[in-house]
Amino acid sequence: MDEMGTETLGLRERKRIATTQLIEHTAVELVLDLGYDEVTVEKICEACNLSTRTFFNYFPTKDAAIGGLMLVVPSEATMLTLIGEHPDDPLRGALAVFEAAMQIVDERPDLLAHRRELFERHPTLLQQHLATFHDLEDTLTRILTRELSHRTEYRRLHSDTAAADEATATVITAGAAMRYVFRKWQNSERASPRTDLLDPALLLMARILRSES
């Protein structure tokens, strides 16, 4: 997480993120040292000096800790608040939800490199990321469909486009933009927050869509 994002969080949230990252780092290091089959939840907890109960408060499985949390799906109330902060732009509201969901991601270059190696060895670990991302897209699409249906002034497309179609396209566009931003930010010097890359990403996507085949 970038420093600017950390400063906006409360003490409890910072402790939660620190414990999450401790478990993730330890799990990855143990797998690299001992091998996937030799690592158990109990060994991870022993190395972190945590109870198994605490572990399961943060991760549902060993695989989730090894693969890490790509994002955490915000509550519906949080999503509605973030969408409401952009009353004239559903896409910006959707982007705000994705950014909030990704705040927990630990982008240390060494950890990312180790994870990529583990994903290649154990492809099922990657499914944890994909499943959570799909859960977020599905939940956000449902909420945004409801908002567009109830607030016609919030819509950006013509009335002949169904609210569900507009919501689906908006969420997919936001998700694609955030994936692009996240990858570009990983490969940069990270001197500025990810949000600074959003406008260039959206402009690039618009240029591609408008380009002739």
3 state DSSP class of 40: coil
Q: pLDDT tens, 12-69? A: 777 887 898 899 899 999 998 999 999 999 999 999 999 999 999 998 889 888 887 6
Residues 6+ apart with CB under 8 A from 130: none
> How much is the pLDDT for 1?
44
pLDDT one-digit tens code per residue, 143-194: 999 999 988 888 888 777 899 999 999 999 999 988 888 777 767 666 566 7
Cα 135 from Cα 141, distance rounded (Å): 10
Question: Residue 153 has what DSSP assignment?
Answer: G
Rounded to whole angstroms, the Cα distance separating 74 from 68 reads 17
